Amino acid sequence: MLKLCLQFAGVIVAEVMVTKRQLGLLFIIIGIGAAAIMFAMDMLGAGQFQGIGPAQRRALLAAALVVCVGLTLLPLGDRPA
């Protein structure tokens, strides 16, 4: 939970920061979730293409890029993002 505290001269500072590892895990979860949704849409027959269409390819590529960014953030540890 993010707590905001009021410091001197009206400056608001967050007490709990998101770390780079947490941000990386969030990106990985979002990317895998997006890829799973794309395959679920394909199984349900959404769209006019049979198999993976061009829009789904772009979405899967974007999801893979998000996962790769998340993987690069994981080793950076507990530094604030």
pTM of the model: 0.72
Establish if 54 belongs to a structural domain.
yes
Per the structure block, which two tokens stand in for 36?
A: 């799973």
pLDDT at res. 6: 59
Establish if 57 belongs to a structural domain.
yes
Where in the sequence is the domain holding 33, given as residue range(s)? 17-76
Establish if 81 belongs to a structural domain.
no
Q: Does residue 36 have a pLDDT over 60?
A: yes
Q: Does residue 4 have a pLDDT over 80?
A: no
Establish if 7 belongs to a structural domain.
no
Establish if 3 belongs to a structural domain.
no
Establish if 35 belongs to a structural domain.
yes
Nearest CA among 29, 34, 40 for reference residue 73 = 29
Q: 6-29, pLDDT tens digit by residue? A: 566 666 656 677 889 999 999 999
How many C-beta atoms surround the C-beta of residue 39 within 10 A? 12
Establish if 38 belongs to a structural domain.
yes
Backbone angles phi, psi at 36, to 5 degrees: -65, -40
Handedness of CA 17, 23, 25, 31 (dihedral sign): positive
Q: Does residue 41 have a pLDDT over 90?
A: no
Domain count, the chain: 1
